[in-house]
Structure 1
Amino acid sequence: MVIHRLLCLLVLLSLLLPSCTSSPDKVVSGVNYEVKTWGSMRAVMKEGKISGRVPLAEVVTPNSIGVGALANLEGEITLIDGIAFIASGSTDPSSDQQVSHSRNLLKSDQATLLVIAEVPHWESVKLGPCATYSEMEKKVSAVLKERGFDLLKPTPVKVRGVAGRVDFHVIAGSCPIADPQGIPPWRGSIIEEPLELVGIYVEKSAGKLTHHLHNSHLHVVSGSRSGHVDAIQLHSAELQIPRIAER
């Protein structure tokens, strides 16, 4: 009888206590923002460590922006101002073609890779047209340097504009780098449409937070489509960065 009562008490306490959130691997604080990371590009893409690290529903707030990948590489995670865009790819059995699906955040969703930032206030800066991904990164770098940001620490960024063409992909359960014979990602393009890019800018972080050859990790959202950015050509662009002082 005593043991039974103790078991009942333990069950009751487990229901009353708040659920635990996995601690981030790293936290970087800025003047007006905080960036938390779980996992790394190398661990996920090279080493195949793709299990869930953090429940998304427990870390997203109204001020959250972020990018990442679902556990087991089941899709792409994009967060803009607390709104989650979940994109997943799969093979259509009727055509054997890769297709992409979009949905809202589920309570059960976990991330194997996540970079999330809390930014209460933003500042906008015109970038003008950007012919390539590299040109846009150079413009972003110049703005951040002029504003006094540390380019070796991740800075959350958003870019609103009109695409000439932006290519993106949605992972479909396998990394083409770690598993070349696995399911290929779904690939798409946004052409001549408004869009928003979101993510982080950080230099000398290839293999950790960014892919090689890039100083940013960006996702795109346009209508119901979202995914990881591969190539950029913008007719116009407006950069948003954390506001560090009244201007």
Structure 2
Amino acid sequence: MNKLKNTIVSIIFVLTIISCQSKDNKVKNIEVNYTGALKTMMSGNLKATVSLDSLSKKKNFYALGAVENLKGEIQIFNSKPTNSFVLDSSLLIDESFNLKAALLVYAEVEEWKSYSIEKFTNKKDLESAIFKMAKTNGIDTEKPFPFLLEGKIESLDWHVINWKDGDTIHNHQKHKESGLNGSLNNTEVQIIGFHSTKHKAVFTHHTTNIHMHFKTNDSNIAGHIDDLKLAKTITLKLPKQ
């Protein structure tokens, strides 16, 4: 009888561990979602694909994208928007969810793990470093994944789109030049990015596997990153596994 009792207790103990592991895996399985596509916008369809208000209740929510009709940039850090617009040649920041997006890429990440990224001279080098770090630390690089970068950059080239109504000829260079653009030097920033080897022309441009937006620590400037350079080290955050 005691032997049977001990066997039952052991089985219950094992099932409890499996159940807990299963719950943990469910939490850590980060899913990247998106609405709209860059190729759709390049074809001239700039209509909204989602209302940000419908996502405003999500916790630990991170996102980037383009406002409908390409009238601004979307960047959301931990459920707090820092969206950017151009009005009368000036940059405006909107911290509300009262927007619609033509393109939005997003994920919910409860926990991040920090790593150090060494010196890089351009976005291509950074892309390679992020991929290697993710693969080394158990991220499934066959699937899209989000990442954060935090720290001081040596230089960062940015733009905030403000597409001219009625213009039907789209290309990446015109998108960069249609609104405001500029460069930052030796500035503390927070960057939200998404990596994917399978979504070129969907939510990454056809020449890269990463799409990144940023905000300065004082939230006075935010937008799309065109290129960046780092002289020392910066903190890379990946979803905790």
TM class by smaller structure: 0.7 to 0.9
Q: Which of residues 208, 226, 231 is equivalent to 2:227?
A: 231
SS of match in other structure, 2:85: strand
Higher helix share: 2
When structure 1 is superposed on structure 2, of 219-228 and 179-188 the one drifting more is 179-188
Look up the match of 1:212.
Answer: 206
Larger radius of gyration: 2
Give how far 1:58 is off.
1.5
1:112 Cα deviation after fit = 0.9
1:145 alignment counterpart = 135
Q: Secondary structure at the match of 2:230?
A: strand
What's the CA shift string for 1:121-144, capped at 9, x where partnerless? 111111122221111111101011
Q: Whole-Å Cα distance in 2 between the matches of residues 214 and 100 of structure 1?
A: 27
Q: Aligned match of 2:123 in 108, 119, 133?
A: 133
Partner of 1:24: none
Distance 1:182 1:158, change over 3 A: closer
Count of residue correspondences: 208
Superposition TM-score, scaled by structure 1 size: 0.77
The structure-2 alpha-carbon separation of the partners of 1:30 and 1:231, relative to structure 1 and needing over 3 Å to count, comes to farther
Matched with 1:85 is 82
Give secondary structure in 1 for the equivalent of 2:69.
helix
Cα shift at 1:183: 7.5
Residue in 2 that maps onto 1:124: 114
Contact 1:133 1:232 in 2 (8 A): yes
Q: Determine which of 83, 91, 100 is the counterpart of 2:91.
A: 100
RMSD between aligned residues: 2.3
State the AA in 1 paired with 2:83: I
Unaligned runs of 5+ in 1: 1-28, 93-97
Matched to 2:51, the amino acid is P
Query: What do residues 46-79 of structure 1 show as CA deviations (whole Å, max 9, x unaligned)?
Result: 1121111111022132301111011111100001
AA of the residue aligned to 1:119:
V
1:199 to 193, 199, 209: 193
Alpha carbons 2:64, 2:76 under 8 Å: kept = yes
- TM (norm. structure 2) is 0.79
Task: Return structure 1 stretches of 4+ with deviation > 4 angstroms.
Answer: 178-183
* 1:23 counterpart residue number: none
Aligned-residue identity in percent: 25
Which secondary structure does the structure 2 equivalent of 1:143 belong to? helix
CA shift for structure 1 position 147: 2.0
The answer to whether the 8 Å contact 1:68/1:76 transfers is: yes
Instruction: Tell me how far apart the structure 1 counterparts of residues 172 and 121 of structure 2 sit (CA, whole Å).
Output: 31
